[in-house]
């Protein structure tokens, strides 16, 4: 029904919005599916709980608000809105109930300090650096003689006649090498788009070194920013969780529907491992090690040479738990069934 509805809109001329394949920068499949949820039966089969009003189901399974830019607004990929040098927000897509990433201009103009949206386009973000001589402090403000240098003064930039220390002239610009991401540490060091991970954040120059500044709900792994729930980069250790695993509070775990952490990944059933017949014994879904004199008793690996309740063989219980040595109980200490274990003196 939803696909038919949007097909009719395309037919009657919704193309003025930018085409049926890209409305306000959103792929058609994304905005059609942005508010979709599985029917109750499918959700139960998948072990999912229905998302609430104003939420969408991410491709990773979680429910997230469709007005949260940290999770991509209406996009079911749930990647944080990545708008260069901008404070992101969510706007409604005309004619639909979906939302899209945009510059949040209600937050101090929507740009990071030192940047401005001069072309008026959300997809390019706040593209203009106010530290440049051609846009010093504002769009189109060109520094010329007798004040050819664009210099930071407090929280803004002004055209001045000299470039004073600790600033330095780089490519005719007066820059701070400790904080300028285009000239970080040296004139030639451009931090570029350092945040290369699946989810991106801002790029900053901190004390002359390039760093990724991740958005809320994301953490840094290497040069990129990744979701705090990303099972391929879990926690500050950036661990890749086992197959079908989830990342919760920075720790890998198995979901409730797949509770068993097996070597092949999280499973709905107890783990079954393929054991090496020469060196191992299959036991309750795991493998006992013959080199450690282990045997399988009640689906548990035990040390048959020293286990006081399974001395020499399963069920041979010595009177004292420590009364088993080399698979034999001490004389007159065996309390197991007659013939269940050898009785010798040690």
Mean predicted confidence (pLDDT) in 156-183: 87
DSSP 3-state of 234: strand
Q: Which positions ≥6 away from 174 have C-beta within 8 Å? A: 149, 150, 151, 160, 163, 167, 168
pLDDT at position 135: 94
In 93-184, which ranges are E strands? 99-103, 115-116, 128-129, 149-153, 156-160, 168-170, 173-175
Task: Tell me how many helices (H) and strands (E) the chain has.
Answer: 3, 26
Pairing of β 26-27 and β 55-57:
unpaired
**Cα–chain center distance at 139:** 36
User: What does the mean pLDDT of the chain come to?
Assistant: 75
Pairing of β 265-267 and β 260-262:
antiparallel
Torsion sign, CA atoms 65, 69, 70, 71: positive
Mean predicted confidence (pLDDT) in 108-118: 86
Mean predicted confidence (pLDDT) in 116-138: 91
> Measuring CA to CA, which residue among 100, 130, 104 is closest to residue 118?
130
DSSP 3-state of 334: strand
> Which of the pair, 1 or 105, is modelled with greater confidence?
105
The C-alpha atoms of residue 79 and residue 26 are separated, in whole angstroms, by 13
> Which of the pair, 273 or 143, is modelled with greater confidence?
143
Residue 9's Cβ-side half-sphere holds a number of Cα atoms within 13 Å equal to 20
Segment 26-72, tens digit of pLDDT: 332 222 233 333 343 344 344 456 788 888 888 877 788 888 887 88
Burial of 28 (C-beta count, 10 Å sphere; 0-12/13-18/19+): middle
Mean predicted confidence (pLDDT) in 84-91: 86
Other CB atoms within 10 Å distance of the CB of residue 53: 6
The C-alpha atoms of residue 346 and residue 329 are separated, in whole angstroms, by 8
Query: Phi-psi bin for 285: left (phi > 0), alpha (psi -120 to 50), beta?
Result: left
Other CB atoms within 10 Å distance of the CB of residue 323: 17
pLDDT(229) > 70: yes
Express as a percent the part of the chain with pLDDT over 90.
12
pLDDT(249) > 80: yes
pLDDT at position 22: 33
pLDDT(332) > 50: yes
Whether the full predicted model's pTM is greater than 0.75, yes or no, is no
The DSSP H or E segment spanning 251 is: strand 251-253
> Measuring CA to CA, which residue among 118, 108, 129, 212 is closest to residue 174?
129
The C-alpha atoms of residue 189 and residue 129 are separated, in whole angstroms, by 17
Backbone angles phi, psi at 134, to 5 degrees: -90, -5
> Which of the pair, 155 or 238, is modelled with greater confidence?
238
Residue 139 in contact with residue 118, Cβ under 8 Å?
yes
Segment 172-215, tens digit of pLDDT: 788 889 988 888 999 988 887 554 444 455 677 889 988 777 76
> Measuring CA to CA, which residue among 203, 229, 233, 231 is closest to residue 217?
229
The C-alpha atoms of residue 268 and residue 46 are separated, in whole angstroms, by 12
Instruction: For residue 229, give the DSSP letter.
Output: T
Segment 286-307, tens digit of pLDDT: 788 888 888 899 878 888 888 8
């Amino acid at each position: 029904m939803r696909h038919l509805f949007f097909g009719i809109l395309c037919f009657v001329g919704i193309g003025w919005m930018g085409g049926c394949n890209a409305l306000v920068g959103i792929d058609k499949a994304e905005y059609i599916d942005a508010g979709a949820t599985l029917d109750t039966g499918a959700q139960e089969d998948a072990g999912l709980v229905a998302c609430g009003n104003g939420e969408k189901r991410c491709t990773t399974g979680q429910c997230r608000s469709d007005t949260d830019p940290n999770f991509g607004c209406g996009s079911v990929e749930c990647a944080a809105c990545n708008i260069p040098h901008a404070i992101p927000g969510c706007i409604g897509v005309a004619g639909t109930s979906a939302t899209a990433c945009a510059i949040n201009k209600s937050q101090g103009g929507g740009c990071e300090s030192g940047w401005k949206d001069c072309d008026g386009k959300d997809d390019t973000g706040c593209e203009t650096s106010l530290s440049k001589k051609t846009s010093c402090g504002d769009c189109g403000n060109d520094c010329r003689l007798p004040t050819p240098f664009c210099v930071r003064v407090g929280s803004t930039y002004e055209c001045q006649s000299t470039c004073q220390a600790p600033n330095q002239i780089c490519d005719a610009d007066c820059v701070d090498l400790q904080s300028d991401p285009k000239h970080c540490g040296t004139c030639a060091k451009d931090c570029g788009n350092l945040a290369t991970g699946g989810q991106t954040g801002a790029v900053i120059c901190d004390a002359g070194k390039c760093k990724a500044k991740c958005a809320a709900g994301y953490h840094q792994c290497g040069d990129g920013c990744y979701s705090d729930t990303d099972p391929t980069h879990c926690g500050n250790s950036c661990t890749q969780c086992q197959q079908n695993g989830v990342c919760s509070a920075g720790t890998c775990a198995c979901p409730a529907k797949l509770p068993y952490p097996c070597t092949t990944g999280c499973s709905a059933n107890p783990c079954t491992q393929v054991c090496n017949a020469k060196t191992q014994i299959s036991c309750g879904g795991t493998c006992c090690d013959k080199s450690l004199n282990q045997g399988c008793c009640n689906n548990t690996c035990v040390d048959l040479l020293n286990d006081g309740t399974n001395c020499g063989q399963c069920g041979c219980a010595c009177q004292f738990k420590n009364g088993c040595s080399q698979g034999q109980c001490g004389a007159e200490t065996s309390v197991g069934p007659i013939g269940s274990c050898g009785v010798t003196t040690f």
